[in-house]
Structure 1
Amino acid sequence: MEMERVTELTMDRRPRKRMRLGWDVVPQPPKAQLGLFTGQEIGNLTSYAPSRAISDHPNSLFVKGLPRNGSPPVRDDDKDGHYMFEIGENLTSRYKIHSKMGEGTFGQVLECWDRERKEMVAIKIVRGIKKYRDAAMIEVEVLQQLGRHDKGGSRCVQIRNWFDYRNHICIVFEKLGPSLYDFLRKNNYRSFPIDLVREIGRQLLECVAFMHDLHLIHTDLKPENILLVSPEYIKVPEYKVSSRSPKDGSYYKRIPKSSAIKVIDFGSTTYDKQDQTYIVSTRHYRAPEVILGLGWSYPCDIWSVGCILVELCSGEALFQTHENLEHLAMMERVLGPLPQHMLKKADRHAEKYVRRGRLDWPEGATSRDSIKAVLKLPRLQNMIMQHVDHSAGDLINLLQGLLRYDPVERLSARDALRHPFFTRDHLRRY
């Protein structure tokens, strides 16, 4: 369910592609092609297409002249295999398209009204291309397995239904709020309070522990794939005025009303002991053993969790890089030297990053800017102390366990949940 931007007019200061959700989309003038309306454009839709009478209410949203449960005309997919649609059309007789929420390499996500359950849902419509269809069927299998075992609420997104419609696998999900990344971005990359980080971290580790117990590895944990259940937030005064403060003089930041989260996007999820030769996870959250080609397993999810917690505390990705050697050098700058036994075992693709038993840095750097980017990073302890007013000691200790280089020594999700950062009652402020 990972999404990339629909429309975006503001600059993203961070060097990576990020998903964009419908609530965050800037309205644009109407386009001639089908299927390019966003959620915010619905209110003006009548003026865009005067021949169509479209109401804003999901129960009565309909296209004039089309039977209430009628099928839309059959259209060709676009050149990339994306499903073409118009707002207000049916997606089978059960679902009516209300808005476009996002788009990614996999396809599109649409907000739809479920006539049967009388609720809004998010439907992931996968591109009509074999490799994406195959991946979608694997995701459906994983989601159904998670659902069968989820008795107490695992913090994994719930699959409602799935169907094959005009050569597109469609997966129906509960509708959730924005991703943690999008919330951070709308908040001008200002950090979350430490008590909120604690609650989110606890839920995230509960989800990971649940998946690992089922012998499943998510492999792509990142703030884009963690959604707040509710979009509601409050504004609180921002006492630490910084370069991130808005220029309009309103020194407030947003805090989610609820800390409840759900993990999404199980398209890369794999069973342990399956083929482990391919690269997993989005670059910024990728574990050192993956970069060095040493094979990977459950601990690669734990490394990602550590990176995510630092990002929630600081507002910025821990390792902002696009290149492997620079990435490993950043790790050494923040966490200390990589173990020699790991560097010696680097596979043929990664051995070029190692020279005489140590990382080939800064000699192997591609540019002076790359060296500067590494040098400006503080040590992990200093980074946390800059942003956390209480619980810093416990958090630093937890992160040192989540971000251990050797995957064998890294904390498990269950062990992490027993860490004092989560168990010290007197530190809880919620």
Structure 2
Amino acid sequence: MENSHTRKRPRLEDDGDKAAPARRGASPPLREDDRDGHYVFNLGENLTPRYKILDKIGEGTFGRVLECWDREAREHVAIKIVRSIRKYRSAAKIEIDVLNQLTENDRDGSKHCLRIKRWFDYRNHICIVCEKLGPSLYDFLKRNRYSPFPVDLVREFGRQLLESVAYMHDLRFIHTDLKPENILLVSPEYVKFPSRKRNSHDEMQFRCLPKTSAIKLIDFGSTAFENQDHSSIVSTRHYRAPEIILGIGWNYPCDLWSIGCILVELCYGEALFLTHENLEHLAMMERVLGPIPEHMIRRANSSASKYFRRGTRLNWPEGAVSRESIRAVGKLSRLKDLISQHVEFARSSLTDLLYGLLRYEPSERLTAREALEHPFFKNPA
């Protein structure tokens, strides 16, 4: 099995699929991109003669994702259309490399990672064609007004997520941006169940649950190679590991911290560390998990050392930017209490797993393969 530091990266500029000859319909009219470099389109028109645009699935800093009908393969596909800006095009080429390796080394599709079909460069937009999947776990939470998932579903989601991350780590990849938005259900189908909650008019409420627990991990545009220089800041804020905030270097364990945060969110309904500021973030960590180890504080870089007093204690609440910030931290519970409030079954095994994933010291954090051997997954009863 090849990995990222033995395999030669393909010359993506030359290897993309060429647009298929026109079968039905013509190419769309030439238009200028919008001011942010996004591809401008209309529903129902073609994206090259091969693909008919059916719907817009999502949008992010990278570009837009469209649902299209592939006339040649006769199937629905998702196409990520990257903004026509150099840095996003560069990131897209890395993502294509990662996707190709993940797909090539997973012949039976059992590793729960998005599968690439092909890619092409169209009007200065890199277009990545992948399988069409369902909504993200975040979208599902939002649809349910942020009601938590049942613990049995969380177990299945967690098992698959850990299997996909273990697979990536075996290939020497670090995802660096794990979050519910980047975990998609394979199927959009769901069922409605009556909820115990009623609205203000005493009407019965309903919650949705997916028909299948199958998920896939997506968005490899921020994936890091083990042997490359690592950016100082990675991960979306709420899922960012303490070693990243402290500037003491990061590696594979940062993905496991993110998984711990995700599992709490799926059980709790809201992000565990809902913050946008470093000091408050660290204070939230201490509120939930206890004091940050002194040896990590002493290693903090110059930017992070200002968050501590005499290099041993977090400057909280003295350094808080507002009373609202102090209140937000004060509302949080210890991890074991938070889980016991929201999970009726498997409390002790789930809590133990989460403490293993959310250890401050990266070297002491569970690896993905170690986590898969945890009793939470082995003894679900």
Under a length normalisation based on structure 1, what TM-score does the superposition of the two structures give? Answer: 0.81
Alignment counterpart, residue 330 of structure 1, candidates 271, 274, 284: 284
Gaps in structure 1 of 5+ consecutive residues = 1-65
Alignment counterpart, residue 324 of structure 2, candidates 344, 369, 385: 369
Which deviates the most, 91-100 or 166-175? Answer: 91-100
Q: Does 1:188 align with 2:142?
A: no
Q: Does 1:300 align with 2:254?
A: yes
The structural deviation recorded for 1:117 is: 1.4
Q: Does 1:114 align with 2:70?
A: yes
Would you say the 8 A contact 1:291–1:350 is kept in 2? yes
How many angstroms apart in 2 are the aligned matches of 1:350 and 1:390? 39
Which residue identity does 1:123 align to in structure 2? I
- Percent identity over paired residues: 66
Alignment counterpart, residue 222 of structure 2, candidates 268, 273, 278: 268
Q: Deviations over 1:287-319 (max 9, x none)?
A: 000000011000000000000000000101000
The structural deviation recorded for 1:246 is: 7.3
Would you say the 8 A contact 2:239–2:258 is kept in 1? yes
Aligned to 2:154: 197
Q: How many residues align?
A: 358
Which residue identity does 1:412 align to in structure 2? T
How many angstroms apart in 2 are the aligned matches of 1:67 and 1:263? 33
SS state of the match for residue 74, structure 1? coil
Which residue identity does 1:156 align to in structure 2? C
How many angstroms apart in 2 are the aligned matches of 1:251 and 1:319? 28
Alignment counterpart, residue 315 of structure 2, candidates 356, 360, 364: 360
Matches within 5 A, 1:21-420: 68-152=24-108, 153-239=110-196, 241=197, 249-356=203-310, 357-420=312-375
SS state of the match for residue 172, structure 1? strand
SS state of the match for residue 58, structure 2? strand
Structure 1 residues 277 and 130: CA distance shift in structure 2, 3 A? closer
How many angstroms apart in 2 are the aligned matches of 1:345 and 1:129? 37
SS state of the match for residue 377, structure 1? coil
How many angstroms apart in 1 are the aligned matches of 2:346 and 2:254? 25
Structure 1 residues 414 and 71: CA distance shift in structure 2, 3 A? same
How many angstroms apart in 2 are the aligned matches of 1:358 and 1:276? 28
Would you say the 8 A contact 2:224–2:230 is kept in 1? no
How many angstroms apart in 2 are the aligned matches of 1:334 and 1:303? 14
How many angstroms apart in 2 are the aligned matches of 1:276 and 1:284? 20
Which residue identity does 2:103 align to in structure 1? G
How many angstroms apart in 1 are the aligned matches of 2:203 and 2:177? 37
How many angstroms apart in 2 are the aligned matches of 1:182 and 1:248? 26
Which deviates the most, 72-81 or 117-126? Answer: 72-81
The structural deviation recorded for 1:247 is: 5.8
Would you say the 8 A contact 2:339–2:351 is kept in 1? yes
How many angstroms apart in 1 are the aligned matches of 2:289 and 2:271? 15
Aligned to 2:7: none
Q: Deviations over 1:382-426 (max 9, x none)?
A: 10001111101000000000000000000000000000000015x
Aligned to 1:421: 376
Under a length normalisation based on structure 2, what TM-score does the superposition of the two structures give? Answer: 0.92
How many angstroms apart in 1 are the aligned matches of 2:283 and 2:226? 29
Gaps in structure 2 of 5+ consecutive residues = 1-21
SS state of the match for residue 408, structure 1? helix
The structural deviation recorded for 1:72 is: 1.5
Which residue identity does 2:132 align to in structure 1? K
Q: Deviations over 1:127-162 (max 9, x none)?
A: 111111111011000000101111341100111110
How many angstroms apart in 2 are the aligned matches of 1:95 and 1:83? 15
SS state of the match for residue 181, structure 2? helix
Q: Deviations over 1:46-80 (max 9, x none)?
A: xxxxxxxxxxxxxxxxxxxx982411111111111
SS state of the match for residue 126, structure 2? strand
The structural deviation recorded for 1:233 is: 1.1
Would you say the 8 A contact 1:113–1:121 is kept in 2? yes
Which residue identity does 2:262 align to in structure 1? I
Structure 1 residues 108 and 389: CA distance shift in structure 2, 3 A? same
Which residue identity does 1:270 align to in structure 2? A
Which deviates the most, 350-359 or 193-202? Answer: 350-359
How many angstroms apart in 2 are the aligned matches of 1:217 and 1:254? 32
Would you say the 8 A contact 2:23–2:49 is kept in 1? no
Aligned to 2:9: none
RMSD (Å), alpha carbons = 1.4
The structural deviation recorded for 1:365 is: 0.6
How many angstroms apart in 1 are the aligned matches of 2:339 and 2:68? 41
